[in-house]
Amino acid sequence: MDSNLNPFDYARPEIFSVRALDRETDLYSLKTTGGDIVVVQGANFGPATEVASVSLEYAMGSSVRALAGDSAGELGSYQYQMARCSKPQGGIQAHRLLHCTTPPGVGRGLVLRSQVHGQDQSDITCFDSDVDSADARETDASVVEGCGNATLAFVSFAPPTISAVTGADGSDTRGGQSFTVVGTGFGPALLSTQGSITSVLYGPASGGSLRYDATPSCRVTIDDTEVECVTLPGTGMDLSFTINIAGQAPEASRLDTELAYAQPVLALFEGEGAIDAETPGGQVVVLRGNNFGPVGADTPLEATYDLEVAGIGGIRFNASMCSLVEAHVTIECHTAPGAGRALAWKVEVDGQTSRSPTTNYEIPMVHHVTRDGGSMARVHDADVDGGETLVLTGRGFGDPALVLFDSETGESIPAL
């Protein structure tokens, strides 16, 4: 054999278009759990006995690259392999037609590329990842043209939605508390380690843009449905949450809630204005407590104190020059001109009013239930018509002098 002969190659495979096999499948909202079947039309897929593969490639940029992700942890470029591709017909149609099952994934504007026996289709040198699916719907069979001589057949996975957020309510203003975003369209857990979570933002709904970015801590913990994140140091109430997966952040991915950071707590007062304050005001009062928020966050902060006057009502004084001097625990204010005693202070941090610390008694516990005047034997044959007197024995029921009330009738009953 003449070794100088030029090597022989078959023509490279090409993809011309892609469409859904059934009407229920939306090419621009494929299930992120996979399992949709698409029809790929093209050329040079080989005879019926040859296996052709199709991949979906996604790139944040101007070119398609089959990478697993970038070192910065942001969503870069990656490739999904179609789960299964088959040739439903023999003869010439085997070279032109494939039925492929989509893999689990996320993203929009994913380009289809084919391979037969290690031979890839021609490189695609230009790809606009910002092409809107609405534009694609206006074209024939989702074939998008306008990139030199290249024709791009592309699909998109369904965007994310949020249905609930758990674990975030009452979180310490120091942050560090885990919370879970529940919804759909979050994609495989493995992809979240490669940067598929573009952003998870939250903050008070009234604050305009959401101020807290939890993204670096977030991971998909249950495929497609749950993302776990960690709160940042912060404050606020009526928190809203948004999630962006692989560049998709529709309005449905925003959830307004009544969740809040922990309410500020006032514990004690110090400083020259805390006792026998001068009536012209201007003295420093140091307010100590908890959950006042981080320093330097430009958090709205106010302090007031009230004087109750018999026959007149309440008089409110507004403290001035209030500032957070020690993160989460210490506020300094200056007294206002005033007079009076037993002044009740409150602070308002980012819309949340403080509460005073409280204590509590133990939770009541029932150890035995017996018949009135009977033995300590377990009651196992109570009259189904009711009317029997039972004795509850346990602890934490309170002092006999206490007056208890029936929750239904409102009548008082003696404590045991």
Average pLDDT over residues 189-218: 88
Between 146-160, 161-175, 249-263, 345-359, the lowest mean confidence (pLDDT) is in: 146-160
Q: At CA 69, angle to CA 66 and CA 75, rounded to 5?
A: 110
Decide if 159 contacts 186 (C-beta within 8 A). no
Domain boundaries, the chain: 14-155, 161-256, 265-353, 365-414
- Residue burial 255-294, b: 16+ Cβ < 10 Å; e: rest: bebebbbbebbbeebebebbeebeeeeeeebbbebbbbbb
Pull the structure tokens for residue 199: 């952003």
Average pLDDT over residues 254-270: 94
Average pLDDT over residues 36-64: 70
What pLDDT does residue 126 have?
35
Kindly give, in sequence order, each residue whose CB lies less than 8 Å from that of residue 54, ignoring residues fewer than 6 positions away.
15, 40, 82, 85, 98, 100, 112, 113, 114, 115
Between 100-104, 145-149, 271-275, 404-408, the lowest mean confidence (pLDDT) is in: 145-149
- CATH T-level fold of 14-155: Immunoglobulin-like (2.60.40)
Q: At CA 58, angle to CA 197 and CA 51, rounded to 5?
A: 125
pLDDT band at 387; cut points 50, 70, 90: confident
pLDDT at 163 exceeding the cut of 70: yes
Q: How far apart are the C-alpha atoms of 109 and 139, rounded to whole Å? A: 14
Same fold across 14-155 and 265-353 = yes
Average pLDDT over residues 363-374: 78
Q: How far apart are the C-alpha atoms of 298 and 67, rounded to whole Å? A: 42
In angstroms, what CA-CA distances link 297 with 172, 208, 233, 292? Answer: 15, 15, 9, 11
Nearest to 291 by CA among 344, 239, 234: 234
Decide if 106 contacts 189 (C-beta within 8 A). no
pLDDT at 375 exceeding the cut of 70: no
* Sheet-wide strand order for 84-86: 14-20, 37-43, 97-101, 84-86
What pLDDT does residue 215 have?
95
Q: How far apart are the C-alpha atoms of 82 and 105, rounded to whole Å? A: 10
In angstroms, what CA-CA distances link 119 with 14, 56, 82, 284? Answer: 11, 16, 16, 78
What pLDDT does residue 331 have?
96
pLDDT at 71 exceeding the cut of 50: no
- 158 C-beta neighbours (distance < 10 Å), count: 21
265-353 carries CATH number 2.60.200: no
* pLDDT top residue among 77 and 333: 333
What pLDDT does residue 286 have?
96
Average pLDDT over residues 4-12: 69
What pLDDT does residue 79 have?
67
Pull the structure tokens for residue 184: 């759909």
Between 51-65, 184-198, 221-235, the lowest mean confidence (pLDDT) is in: 51-65
**Rounded to two decimals, what is the model's pTM?**
0.74
